[in-house]
Amino acid sequence: MWRCGVSSLKPNCYFHYKRNYLSLSKSNLTKHPITKYSNYSSLTMTTITESDVGILCFISSLPGFRGILKQRYSDFIVNEVDTEGNVVHLTSLDAPPEAFQEGETKISDQLNKNYASEIENFRSLACEIDVDRLEAFINQITSGREEDISPIVLSPDSDKSHRTAMHNFFKENLRFLVTDTVDGPDSSSKCIRVRLNSGNKNKGRNSNKRKRGDRPYDSRGSSHWPAHLGNFLRFHLFKENKDTQEALGLIGKMLGIQPRSFGFAGTKDKRSVSTQRVTVFKQYASRLAALNDRLIGIKVGDFCYVKDDLLLGQLLGNRFTIVLRGVVADSEDTIQASAESLGRHGFINYFGLQRFGSGSIPTHHIGATLLRGEWKAAASTILDPREGERNIISKAREYYKQTGDIDGTLKQLPRHLVAERAMLQCLKKSPGNYLQALKAIPRTLRMMYVHSYQSYLWNHAASVRVQKYGSSEVVLGDLVYSKGDDAEKTEVVPHEHEDNSLEDAYDCGQLDEISGKDLPLEKNNLVKVMTASDISTGNYTIEDVVLPMPGSRIIYPMNEVADVYHDMAKKDGISLTESVHNIKEFSITSVTGSYRRVFQKPIDFQWDLLLYTDGNLALSETDIDKIAKTRPVNPVKEENPTNGTEGEEPFNHLEQLESFEDEKKFSTDDNEVEVSREAEPPQVHSPPDLNSQEPQKALKLAFTLPASCYATMAIRELLKTSTSVAFHKTLNQ
């Protein structure tokens, strides 16, 4: 039975500030000394800890307890909440009947005819060689032979208008074929490539395979799309232990379309079970539904056709169902008090560790280098060898550093390293142009570095706000969202992430735990500085308090918290009021800035304490589990199931599939564990035997958070321990 409750609390911090926050900042710098600002690229450190990025305080002074976060990825379930407030679930795997208007012809029906007249007409546009190629290609398709049907490439053609006429010929006469343009044998020519329409269900079992090294097909969608259907197919994507980009990349490969054909509102945590909305351009539901038997760790369903695609940020938030296993506490009263406290008072709305990457080079360090205009240093930081990476990546980085051989490095470097590959390809064309190479990184990804530095300053400011002024009352000089008549006296300022462009949304990769952007629902909210008269009215509470993400259109608090931003930035060689270069996207004075609530309460919060004996059994019901109750369904297949765990691997098992770099670095360095323990209350509880058949406790939580809020920060407030991957790995050992 789900329970809720309350408790009264006081703020608590890892470290107490003796005079001001600078003493803490200095202590952090001594762990990873930086003698010169330009030395970020040579910084070597283990995986970052929470204290490194300003995650220092708690709201509650209640004791924490032991609990393992994400022992199994099904212990962390995320369901997107759409803009209408609906929790997104996968409820059906079936495609709706495909409706064709009168006069429309299915592509499959077009193969049952003779194309002698069309081929004859093609002679007026093409040379004899291309006519023969096309005739042989059509005969191969219509014969139904069980063989690989590869695309054909027509003769080089430097006349764009003639190529356009060729494309139109195929659209009008041979609808079961699609064309695109590829590079010719020299720089001045292009070639038309002809292939079987990806929407056609050809009999050949290998018809959708591409040759190794072949360029991906374009993403124009199915040709001659029915006018009565919306241009986009919306579906619900269910995935296990995969990030959003990885899952859509697999689906795109199977459909023969590019990643930019997909739209989604936010990225979801890789190590989880999640369900979210996705749109794809001009694809039939039947094609996607047919993939369910082949997809591994992924299911798609709940199809419908819509007019518009999804953009990053078009969501209200996410619904979480989280199980903490191996719970050990002084008493159940301790657990109950902590859970009730979280429900009533919430948590400090820090940016979680995912915001800063999990490798040896934090993203905010790269952001600081960009803000200083040190292009070569920033490029080196991204490309150079670093600690904790897989051997194949380390070898590729070291090879480039030693030889400078870009082609050889690209052959070795895994494709999921999007930023590195984009930079190297640019440096190949423009050697030494490091700024251009940085701009070659997809925009959403390269802006992540600057946003990470803004988040770094925000976290430290939030810690100072809690330490100096507590977490229960609004104080003089605080910034708050205005209410009532006060709204008429203040200026409109941007809400959190409003300044973040949604351009290149399809290129985003290394984003946050749950969502890359925030839907600006409160973008018309006004921010004001609290005065004594404002406080006396009692109209404002601690929930109204916000802190700025630095930028050109924000104001700072009128109290000691404002000094945190400027003094910490100054230590990093950065001015928040003047820019040392004119590259706007890497300038703190050119980005708009935004605001973020300092305290966040979980919405619709529920909790329950469970007993279990088998650590391999799921303690939460996923969407696929619910579907299986109503109809037989093939289970979501996973790579390399281990130890009878139905596809789920132990926490310390290395991921089999390639993913983005910042999700692949699991540090086991002793320093990481030691620092985490130094910053946490002492752990007095002995870990349970995970293989024991003795009953163990698990705490099950369910709550909703707005977009861009981190569920791990709520768990941190509850347990009073680090949320780092390295720390929770030690709990499994």
Question: Catalytic positions, please?
Answer: 269
Contact (CB, 8 A) for 303 and 273: no
Question: Got the DSSP string for 17-30?
Answer: -SSSHHHHHHHHHH
Contact (CB, 8 A) for 481 and 527: yes
Q: How far apart (Å, rounded) are the C-alpha atoms in residues 423 and 435?
A: 10
| Residue type at 270 in one-letter notation | K
**From its phi and psi, is residue 99 left (phi > 0), alpha (psi between -120 and 50) or beta?**
beta
Of 461, 576, 357, 671, residue with least CA distance to 366: 357
- State the distance between the two ends of the chain, measured CA to CA, in whole angstroms: 31
Greatest Cα pair distance, the chain, in angstroms, is 89
Sign of CA dihedral 717, 510, 571, 500: negative
DSSP 3-state assignment of 599? strand
> Please, which residues have CB within 8 angstroms of residue 33's CB and are 6 or more apart in sequence?
none
Q: How far apart (Å, rounded) are the C-alpha atoms in residues 680 and 699?
A: 21
Contact (CB, 8 A) for 652 and 731: no
> Please, which residues have CB within 8 angstroms of residue 530's CB and are 6 or more apart in sequence?
474, 475, 476, 477, 478, 479, 480, 540
Q: In what order do the strands lie in the sheet with 152-153?
A: 152-153, 190-196, 177-183
731's tokens = 């709990």
Of 245, 288, 230, residue with least CA distance to 505: 245
Q: How far apart (Å, rounded) are the C-alpha atoms in residues 575 and 227?
A: 54
531's tokens = 């005065």
The DSSP H or E segment spanning 166 is helix 160-173
Q: How far apart (Å, rounded) are the C-alpha atoms in residues 95 and 439?
A: 41
| Residue type at 239 in one-letter notation | K
Q: What are phi and psi of 670, to 5 degrees?
A: -60, -30
Chain centroid to Cα 92, Å, comes to 25
**From its phi and psi, is residue 247 left (phi > 0), alpha (psi between -120 and 50) or beta?**
alpha
Angle between helices 21-31 and 443-469 (to 10 degrees): 130
Q: What are phi and psi of 643, to 5 degrees?
A: 55, 35
Kind of pairing, strands 57-58 and 76-81? unpaired
